[in-house]
Amino acid sequence: MRTIQLTEDSKKNILDNLLKRSPNNYGEFTERVDAILDDVKTRGDKAVFEYTKRFDGAEIDASGIAVTEEEIKEAYEIIGQSGLLEIIRKAIANIREYHEKQRQFSWFDSKPDGSILGQKITPIEKVGVYVPGGKAAYPSSVLMNIIPAKVAGVDKIIMTTPPNKEGKVNPGTLVAACEAGADVIYKVGGAQAIGALAYGTESIPKVDKIVGPGNIYVALAKKAVYGYVSIDSIAGPSEILVLADETANPRYVAADLLSQAEHDEMASAILVTTSKELARQVSAQVNEFVETLSRKEILTKSLENYGYILLTETMDEAIAVANEIASEHLEIVTKDPFHTMTKIRNAGAIFLGEYSSEPLGDYFAGPNHVLPTNGTAKFFSALSVDDFIKKSSIISFSREALEPIHEDIIKFAVSEQLTAHANSIQVRFEK
């Protein structure tokens, strides 16, 4: 990993380099994605089947696009032999318990004058969950997208995921979906899956919101259909930033940086530290680990492109750059991580102390691992129960409650030259 003494110029160059990873900077794919979406919107199932054949090599038709009970049973048999089923169930318990604390409830505030104000919480009716199936299968992402929707009370959860060439879905993905509570699973991936969920086809119903990560085609498709449906966010490549001082264990830090760098060549892994000695040791340990880990080629390219060790003079300077980068995952490994955490404004998820490694959050702790990337933690949050509800304002006034304020409302409306607004109030007090 390259080690850089942080200056204003080097910080700007690094931030500019990191932003190149954003899906918003891949306009050359937009035309292709738009063509697929238009085709699905026009031809429905027929287009979906053709794209599935072209991109996934699988022959799918209306009779086989939905995962069957027999396929689910087969998946359970495979996963049951691996011992993964019990682990999935333990993770589900933790994730559900955490998200249940996020639930919101309708409220009403009545006053003696006869006015009632409130907020009505309503779950979204139909949600589409997209699950990738390319270089690797991620049952953990299935849990993180479906469980908060179930906790929120979503009526119908429709999952799509690309099949392999035999028309099969990864058994871990299937079992995770069934355990978490998916209502139906369709064998379709890519931009065509997003189009099917957004517009509806003969086989796949239109949903109200689409959540879940995917490749650049999926990200751009979600961006394009926003407005027809709601979406969670435009997910970019994974990233981790470790904020550390001289007390950090270099072996732990190196291992945690690589835990995200192995996702793909676009992943980012950054150490920000005040300690030159820690920087030296982490760099050496990273090189040692890379030689022994299975995804060596991906790790090497990721670190060459977006791996940094940034040296700062003070911890306040280190914290400032961490807030500027606004990383998806932020680990704080300092003498007093809780105190350091109080100065953090921007991060998707914050891990405190040397035993709170990032994979703990990916799989088991309970908080959601669907997080804002590419600096969007400055204004976005982790996926939560809030993403699967709607809030409707409630207003009820009696004549007695409206009468003292009705002239104020009329004057306000007239000042905006909206005389029909004013009249709507005035007619209620005509003599």
Token pair in block for residue 131? 């699950």
Do residues 171 and 140 lie in contact, with contact meaning Cβ atoms separated by under 8 Å? Answer: no
Strands 307-311, 230-231: pairing kind: unpaired
Q: Which residues are catalytic?
A: 328-329
CA pair distance 215, 232, nearest whole angstrom: 15
Find, among 23, 20, 47, the residue nearest to 220 by Cα: 23
E strand or H helix that includes residue 393:
strand 389-396
Alpha helices of 226-372 — where are they, by DSSP H?
Answer: 250-261, 276-292, 296-306, 315-325, 337-341, 358-363
Interior angle at CA 339, CA 242 and CA 345, nearest 5: 65
CA pair distance 166, 189, nearest whole angstrom: 14
Do residues 162 and 99 lie in contact, with contact meaning Cβ atoms separated by under 8 Å? Answer: no
Find, among 325, 308, 282, 430, the residue nearest to 19 by Cα: 325
Residue 374 CA: distances (Å) to CA of 24, 135, 321, 329: 10, 22, 14, 11
Location of structure tokens 């409630």: 394
The helix/strand/coil state of 326 is coil
Phi, psi of 279 (to 5 degrees): -60, -45
Token pair in block for residue 277? 């000695």
Residue 315 CA: distances (Å) to CA of 254, 318, 340: 20, 5, 9
